[in-house]
Structure 1
Amino acid sequence: MGRVSGRVCLVTGAAQGIGRAIGEALVAEGASVCFADLNAEKAAAVAEANRSRAVNGGGVMSAGVDVRERNEVRAMIEAVVERFGRLDVAFNNAGVNKPMNLLDVTEDNWRFIMDVNGLGVLIGMQEAARQMIAQGTGGKIINTASIASRQGFGNVAPYCASKWAVVSLTQSGARDLAKHDITVTGFAPGVVATEMWEAVDRDLMEIGAAERPGQAMEEFSADILRGRVATPGDITGTTTFLASSDSDYMTGQIVMIDGGMALV
């Protein structure tokens, strides 16, 4: 208990799945947390569900945000600072996927995925860093990559490219922001049982890449050394570590949390 007590944390894509689990784990460890998401109503409901769980003086709030829009990201951070006084940790977790066979990938598909997963991370890093620099107290920026940032997979080429971009942004940010005592790290989940995977499963069936529900997850997870897909709770031990002082000497690194699916 209390590994992030007193820290003010922001998590995007926090209305469900990994993002929600990250935020809830931070609340349980004493942080003040903003659950942010494009779906503002759902984010507010998640925040309300966690309000009574806040410990050690932590607080909870929510925000609606489109991470592709700089003005919205800036307004979200301003709201966090107005509520809690500062920003210590920013999780750029919001992400999307829309599988398409490689020869069918369109410019719209590419731009949609790259804008959220790539540009959204860049804007989130920039605006969080500006606030942390203004505070003069350093900070932590943590980006969500993917096993797809280490290996290309069929039917999801734009998603893979976007997550490779997250790795590059993390490394570049770490180098550029070190002088401000800001660390930039990330984590790379493998197959995680979330709403996003359920949507991917349906999409793969629609494009003929899978014949039955659950087939895609079974095939993707066949080589996991731990013998099962992850739950969001399997991810949060690492994410809380990255948000805590225990990781202060880490920067520019991506931590794989894939059960041994890809050994790199």
Structure 2
Amino acid sequence: MLVAGKSALVTGGAQGIGFAIAKRLVEEGARVLIADIDPELAAASAEQLGGPAVARSVGCDVTSAEAVKAAVDAAVEAFGSLDVMVNNAGITRDATMRKMTEDQFDAVIAVHLKGCWLGTRAASAVMREQEGGGSIVNVSSISGKVGMIGQTNYSAAKAGIVGLTKAAAKEVAFRNVRVNAVQPGLIRTRMTEALREDVWASKQAEVPMGRAGEPEEVADVVLFLASGLSSYVTGTVLEISGGRHI
């Protein structure tokens, strides 16, 4: 039970990688609040994890400072503290730069980068005042390291999360609040499985380990950063890519 007795908030936690993270934290003893833009799906996911005793839910638009603060406050009210914050919520609006609209660019930056900043700010404000501090994990992407065609918005946002993570880590380390990031590579999710078979095959061929990752493998790394096993780790970026783009 690596996070027994701790409370966590996972944005975008109703499905995909976010749900895998929430599930892993619950399995290791944490109580989790799932914050998601889809409140009905979030409620169903929380029930699937065991219901109010260990998992609760709240609707949350991560681009709204008020909504993010309300989610953080809800976690503290429900569980008495906020020990782990996972800024995972995200969207894609892929298009080549020539065809991408300003709205598509702005939407991705708002959800990923601003949303991550709002979550980091709100969570750290609570964690720095409580005994024991806390751990914030920001979900970047390998796209933020290498840049992907058709993702000038997404790659920019995910690269920005790396800079945000390092700067925030320096600001709050003295209060025992740790801020780290993960960069998943090709992970098998509903979104990636919708790729054309030839596109999927070409991406998988770039992975030295020869396969895509599973959401649970991302969740395990997040668990490490959330737990005491990483008590002297802050400002780092861990790639979960099977060696792709190393």
TM-score range, shorter chain: over 0.9
Deviations 1:73-114 (A, max 9, x none): 111111111110010010000011111012112211110000
1: CA distance between counterparts of 2:175 and 2:124? 9
Gaps of 5+ in 2: none
2: CA distance between counterparts of 1:216 and 1:166? 26
2: CA distance between counterparts of 1:198 and 1:41? 24
Matched, 1:257 2:235: no
Superposition map of 1:157-236 within 5 A: 157-198=152-193, 201=195, 213-236=196-219
1: CA distance between counterparts of 2:59 and 2:75? 12
Q: 1:191–1:217: 8 Å Cα contact kept in structure 2?
A: no
Shift of 1:136: 4.3
Match of 1:239 among 212, 222, 243: 222
Superposition map of 1:72-91 within 5 A: 72-91=67-86
1: CA distance between counterparts of 2:23 and 2:33? 10
Name the counterpart of 2:44: 45
Shift of 1:184: 0.3
Name the counterpart of 2:94: 99
Letter in 1 for 2:8: C
Superposition map of 1:27-176 within 5 A: 27-51=26-50, 59-176=54-171
2: CA distance between counterparts of 1:250 and 1:243? 10
Q: Once the two structures are aligned, what percentage of the paired residues are identical?
A: 37
Of 232-241 and 42-51, more deviation after overlay is shown by 232-241
Deviations 1:99-158 (A, max 9, x none): 101211221111000000100000000000111123243111100010111101111111
Gaps of 5+ in 1: 202-212
Name the counterpart of 1:14: 13
Deviations 1:25-44 (A, max 9, x none): 01001011111111111011
The 4+ residue runs of structure 1 with deviation greater than 3 A are: none
1: CA distance between counterparts of 2:200 and 2:11? 25
Q: 1:170–1:252: 8 Å Cα contact kept in structure 2?
A: yes
